Chains A and B, each alone.
Chain A
């Protein structure tokens, strides 16, 4: 299908700024990233980190208007999403890029049958006739492991369970064979036992189709092991990005490190005191000066509160690697083996 090395997505210095009645909010504040066919990028962050706004801006769902200013560039398959007319942008949705949202119920029209949701996209974008579209839709439902697909085609969304609905939404997203799939918290509304299956399904579909995937999640566990690279977001900026295995094993940014340490692990004994991060995520209407994590950071110094750190190479060890596999972090005083050993000591 796609050339393995094809650059599917290029985001350069993207800013999304909302003007709200209560002030200006820099929801996304200078994010750059790129993604090749077949690659999976995890975007991890808490509420207010800008991860969902980033996903929607990349998709072109958030664009310049009276209260929103988007600057920087997003190129999907060579098309500059934000330089296009809204009409042309809509043509990208489906064949080039598709999105899966958190709540499957809001993505589905409650008065439309499951089949109609999928066949409509097929007939609109691929120009299939009614019969071909129907067969293709059944095939898609089968690919997302929905049992008895022919019967499900005639059902309404409310007749399906949450997990089934999300499978239908994924089938809709895949209908036109997108080169890039953006999944925004695809499992947050689902049960724990179903979450894993949806994530595994997304991963296997992506590798079958050599599709680039962005997995946006607040759940570190969902991203670990299912993505090639990860970007950790805080306060609208990328604070650390590298190979997923590397970030999880050797986080360089104190936020990434503290976040990983604050999660209870199943292997820990009961009543283990968790290493909590004090404070709360920043108020994006009045972000702190300097590094936005500084008020909560145990290593923060005066410089952190005055000067905003820029993304830079964090470790020499991987410099020889592919440019996209380098380990970037935005911190004046990144964690090295030395500082960590001091901490433990």
Chain B
């Protein structure tokens, strides 16, 4: 992984969102720099859901925020509907990116504790100066669409709602902007297990009804597979693998993706006996804790960034960075050593 390249991009299609060689770096004193995202390429087609999978610290949240220009990427370009967002003046950016909305991890913190649900959901309309009788009707309609009873929640504040209801309010607020792209950053990981399914189903349903594209960022392989059409696996700010979600648990080839799949409950059984990463030979290795240490993003490993934890690593991996290469229909990996 830890690879670069644009092999997975689809030049013939007309994407709604394009991310081109995006780099996100944060200075952290003493001239050190956190390399959060290093050269990310994304093309998102209309109606498509792209899942971005990775552990914490892999740069997936930084990538999502950089796409929203919050803060803007260090370099690279983000185009929404062919309009470049990077480099726009603040006033132009405010309008241009309002077609893109974001659902964040902590639904309670995403809602201003002092405001009522009706004001929270109507905020987008208020910002863009849309007033009048239609406003209340539109808010009500959207609340119904996300499964909330407007009469019940109308005058409530965030602390009077459950976590799942707060996330529904956040989704309603985003839908009011009539977005073309919805970026969901771990939208269910702060929720109770029994509520997660509600929100996942709701996202699928509203996506169909309101017709937007989605980037779904999460660490849970099963959740990402369930909601995505296409999955992109990130590690330390680089792309390891891009593959279709259908059958991904068996089709995935990159050692890091295999490690992720093997760490889910029941994932061991998916791994075939001959699997070089999670098979019997390799399963002796993970006990040593050193193999699980995520290297510091301040000073990422040379060559392939996964090589310090990779059971297949060779000298070539530290010298040369693997490029994404096609290994199947819509399936790309960045690894020197996986034979296809």
Contact = CB atoms under 8 A, between A and B. Distances in A.
Q: Tell me if chains A and B make direct contact, with any CB pair below 8 A.
A: yes
Interface stretch (A101-109, A112-120, A175-183, A273-281): A273-281
B109 interface: no
A266 B225 contact: yes
Given A161-B294, A193-B55, A278-B198, A266 B227 contact: no
B56 A273 contact: no
A272 B225 CA distance: 10
Interface in B262-293: 262-267, 270, 286-290, 292-293
Contact of A274 (B57, B164, B226): B226
A170 to B, nearest CB: 11
Among A218, A222, A271, the most chain B Cβ lie within 10 Å of the Cβ of A271
B201 A225 contact: no
B227 A271 contact: yes
B77 to A, nearest CB: 30
A314 interface: no
Interface residues of B, number: 48
Interface string B204-230: 100000000000000111110111110
B55 A192 contact: yes
B162 interface: yes
Interface string A169-202: 0000000000000000000000111111100110
Contact of A277 (B56, B194, B220, B266): B194
A145 B286 CA distance: 10
A222 B265 contact: yes
Contact of A197 (B226, B246, B265, B286): B286
Nearest to B196: A262
A264 B226 contact: yes
A273 B204 contact: yes
Contacts, number: 135
B193 interface: yes
B197 interface: yes
Contacts of B106: none
Contact of B292 (A163, A259, A272, A281): A163
Contact of A164 (B164, B201, B289): B289
Task: Tell me what chain A mostly uses at the interface: helix, strand, loop, or mixed.
Answer: loop
A221 interface: yes
B61 to A, nearest CB: 14
A46 B227 contact: no
Contacts of B198: 276-278
Contacts of B262: 196
Contacts of B264: 192, 221, 266
Given A273-B201, A274-B200, A197 B289 contact: yes
Interface of B: 55-57, 162-165, 192-198, 200-201, 204, 219-223, 225-229, 245-246, 249, 259-267, 270, 286-290, 292-294
18 contacts: A46-B192, A146-B289, A164-B293, A167-B289, A192-B55, A192-B263, A221-B264, A259-B193, A259-B194, A262-B194, A263-B222, A264-B220, A264-B226, A265-B222, A266-B221, A266-B261, A266-B270, A272-B226
Closest 3 CB pairs of A and B: A221-B265, A280-B162, A276-B197
Interface of A: 46-47, 145-147, 161, 163-164, 167, 191-197, 200-201, 218-222, 224-225, 258-259, 262-278, 280-281, 296
Given A191-B294, A196-B263, A274-B226, 18 more contacts: A46-B193, A147-B289, A163-B293, A192-B219, A218-B192, A218-B193, A221-B265, A224-B266, A225-B265, A264-B223, A268-B225, A269-B246, A270-B227, A270-B245, A271-B227, A275-B197, A276-B198, A280-B192
